[in-house]
Amino acid sequence: MEETISLKEIGQILKKRMKLITVLTLSALMLAVIFTFFIATPQYQASTQILVNQTQQSEQDRSTINVQTDDLELINTYNVIITSPAILDLVLEETNLDTTVSNLQSKITVAAEEQSQVVSLTVEDENPQIASELANTIAEVFEQEVPNIMNIDNVSILSEAQAADSMSPVSPQPSLNFALALAIGLIFGIMLAFLIEFLDQSLKTEQDLEKFLNLPILGSVSIINKELDNEKQANSNLVNKKTDSNKKTRKTS
């Protein structure tokens, strides 16, 4: 027999497990607050732009090749060169930073500006001054080394990265973290509520029994509290004794 659940039953389950859902949601939010403000290290970004100029050979060959495709391929090649050990080893020598090439590569993002010959170089670090210094040094070393690597001289720095004390960290983002935590906690709480309800096969109400047996309920037996029943009986006997005593008093008088 295929079981279905109605919207009313869904609402009843959510209402019944609201405490659990609330606790899990608030717990997720609390973990996000702790992670954002006490565990995660703020990260800053600094960016510089590099201009890739057309070479004389490219200008002469415009009639025989697709210049836009050439530019794209050239920029993609530069993207690889910028993050290569040939460039980053020299950057580490100039900056005297105690880190590795692979670690430095993870901090760098290179992207080509759409419909242009400009390459954006972005460096992320927990120190805004170091991020700015790295971005500018990488751009300078790249500009100096490209002629030796590719036998061309068509790269120039368009803008330098600037470090400011008022820079805001790009991560962590409190509002985003809190929103994600609330969503995850709420979803997990609802899923757990339905899972508990699904695994709970006990019969608690007449409706549960009727649904389980697929038979109508003809009657029900109430639960009798023995202690309460004895207390009521004792009170009843006490009242009867007082009544009998009053009757005897009246007859005597």
Convert the pLDDT of each residue in 26-52 to its tens digit: 999 999 999 999 999 999 999 999 887
- Looking at the fold, whether 123 and 232 belong to one and the same domain comes out as no
- Looking at the fold, whether 149 and 225 belong to one and the same domain comes out as no
- Looking at the fold, whether 45 and 166 belong to one and the same domain comes out as yes
Helix and strand element counts for the chain (H, E): 10, 4
Q: What percent of the chain is modeled with pLDDT above 70?
A: 67
How far is CA 221 from each of CA 202, 206, 217, rounded to the nearest angstrom? 18, 11, 11
The answer to whether position 241 is within a domain reads yes
The answer to whether position 121 is within a domain reads yes
- Looking at the fold, whether 228 and 117 belong to one and the same domain comes out as no
Burial 147-177 (b: 16+ CB within 10 A, else e): eeeeeeebbeebeebebeeebeeeebeeeeb
The answer to whether position 138 is within a domain reads yes
The answer to whether position 177 is within a domain reads no
- Looking at the fold, whether 131 and 48 belong to one and the same domain comes out as yes
Q: Which CATH number covers residue 131?
A: 3.30.1890.10
Residue indicated by tokens 């659940």: 5
Q: What integer pLDDT is reported at residue 63 of this predicted model? A: 45
- Looking at the fold, whether 51 and 165 belong to one and the same domain comes out as yes
The whole-angstrom separation of Cα 69 and Cα 67 is 5
The total of structural domains in the chain comes to: 2
Give 171's DSSP letter.
Answer: B
- Looking at the fold, whether 235 and 119 belong to one and the same domain comes out as no
Q: What integer pLDDT is reported at residue 1 of this predicted model? A: 41
The answer to whether position 198 is within a domain reads no
- Looking at the fold, whether 97 and 210 belong to one and the same domain comes out as no
- Looking at the fold, whether 126 and 217 belong to one and the same domain comes out as no
CB 122 within 8 A of CB 45: yes
- Looking at the fold, whether 52 and 119 belong to one and the same domain comes out as yes
- Looking at the fold, whether 164 and 88 belong to one and the same domain comes out as yes
Q: What integer pLDDT is reported at residue 64 of this predicted model? A: 45
The whole-angstrom separation of Cα 210 and Cα 203 is 10
The answer to whether position 106 is within a domain reads yes
Domain that holds residue 234: 206-249
What's the pLDDT band for 127 if we cut at 50, 70, 90?
very high
Q: What integer pLDDT is reported at residue 68 of this predicted model? A: 58
